[in-house]
Amino acid sequence: MSEPKTTVRELIREKYATLTASEKKLANALLENYPAAGIASITVVAQNADVSTPTVARMVGKLGFKGFPQFHQSLLSELQAKVQGPTQRRANWATEAPESHLLNRFSQAITRNLSQTLSNVDHDKFDKAAGCLADTNGRLYIVGGRITRALAEYAFTHFQAIRERVTHMTSSSATWPHYVLDMVKGDTLLMFDIRRYETNLLRLAELAKERGVTVIVVTDQWASPIASIADYTFNCWVEIPSAWDSNVSTMMLLETLIAAVQEENWPRAKDRYERLDEIFEAARLFRKP
């Protein structure tokens, strides 16, 4: 089909900036459950998005439709086109972009990586590792390599929010001895080491291990040498059509670990979150409005 073919979805995105607060709410509800959320009477659509009928009518107007029925009809045709369309669009992933577009090639690779990563996690070890990360009797050290420094930082930001006694070992290895000096049995060291494995990190792991520290390493599918001495190893699939490696799956694993720790420490973590929010709020008030 060579039509200009603007879908309602595109229309919403296009005008999104010009929408008001509750219109955005509606837009999100629509996009979230598209197009189902839009195919109903205006009253129902409004209710499901938790806005008033006029808001729906107004937004539909803004999108360029003459009235709700027209909008409704438009969604309906889209739905129908989809059904009759040439061999159902591939999965959910396909955006409206052509098959060969980078977005699609990428999403495919990433999907594969996530799937591989997940099916290679031993959930028993996962739980145990989460237990170590949650244990506040010991100190938690976090360290990453050149590229994974960002992940280490992300981990630090979150772990700091949900538990005490967390240390981010900066990536400058010159400072590491200071930290190692204080490591004792019962502490945990969370390491990120993705290929182009770094010798420094291996040395660090060895030193930590000598002191009875529990070592958890998040690495790639080929496994960093650290894996052979670590207590817990997690392999993340990282290949993408590119010169470098993807860290999406690593990020997912990390977030899941954080969530697990949060759950384990719940009442305390919650308390910390709330206090943290309060402090940020207070800090914000220092600034002039």
Partner DNA sequence: TGTCGTTTGTAAAAATCTTTCCACACACTT
Partner DNA sequence: AAGTGTGTGGAAAGATTTTTACAAACGACA
244: amino acid identity, one letter: W
Q: How far is the CB of 57 from a second copy (least distance, A)?
A: 19
- Which of a second copy, DNA, none lies near 207, with the C-beta cut-off 5 to 8 A by kind? none
Single residue of 10, 13, 54, 136 touching DNA by CB under 7 A: 54
Residue 70 interacting with a second copy (CB under 8 A): no
Q: Taking Cα atoms as reference points, which of 184, 191, 192, 142 lies closest to residue 163?
A: 142
Q: How far is the CB of 237 from a second copy (least distance, A)?
A: 8
Distance, CA of 9 to CA of 13 (rounded, Å) = 6
Rounded to 5°, the CA angle 214-215-218 comes to 145
Residue 28 interacting with a second copy (CB under 8 A): yes
* Footprint on residues 190-249 left by a second copy (CB under 8 A): 196, 199-200, 221-223, 227-228, 233, 240-244, 246-248
Q: For a second copy, which stretch binds (CB under 8 A), given 59-67, 132-140, 174-182, 257-265?
A: 257-265
CB environment 16-29: b (16+ within 10 A), e (fewer): eeebeebbebbbeb
Residue 67 interacting with DNA (CB under 7 A): yes
- Which of DNA, a second copy, none lies near 184, with the C-beta cut-off 5 to 8 A by kind? none
Q: For a second copy, which stretch binds (CB under 8 A), given 45-53, 55-63, 182-190, 252-260?
A: 252-260
Lay out the site mask for DNA across 8-27 (x = CB under 7 A, - = otherwise). ------------xxxx----
Single residue of 43, 95, 115, 120 touching DNA by CB under 7 A: 43
Distance, CA of 182 to CA of 18 (rounded, Å) = 56
Distance, CA of 239 to CA of 50 (rounded, Å) = 42
Single residue of 120, 177, 184, 186 touching a second copy by CB under 8 A: 120
Which helix (H) or strand (E) element contains residue 232?
A: strand 232-236
* Footprint on residues 140-179 left by DNA (CB under 7 A): none
- Which of DNA, a second copy, none lies near 206, with the C-beta cut-off 5 to 8 A by kind? none
- Which of a second copy, DNA, none lies near 48, with the C-beta cut-off 5 to 8 A by kind? none
Q: Which is nearer to DNA, 86 or 289 (CB)?
A: 289
DSSP 8-state code for residue 235: E
Q: Taking Cα atoms as reference points, which of 258, 254, 250 lies closest to residue 113?
A: 250
DSSP per-residue codes, 99-143? TTSHHHHHHHHHHHHHHHHHHT--HHHHHHHHHHHH-TTS-EEEE
Task: Pinpoint the alpha helices (H) of the chain.
Answer: 8-15, 21-32, 42-49, 53-62, 68-84, 102-119, 123-134, 149-162, 176-182, 199-210, 248-264, 266-286
Single residue of 41, 88, 95, 175 touching DNA by CB under 7 A: 41
Single residue of 6, 36, 50, 210 touching a second copy by CB under 8 A: 36
* Footprint on residues 228-257 left by DNA (CB under 7 A): none
Distance, CA of 260 to CA of 130 (rounded, Å) = 6
Distance, CA of 221 to CA of 212 (rounded, Å) = 26
Judged by the rule CB under 7 A, the positions of this chain that interact with DNA are 20-23, 41-44, 51-55, 57-58, 60, 66-69, 72
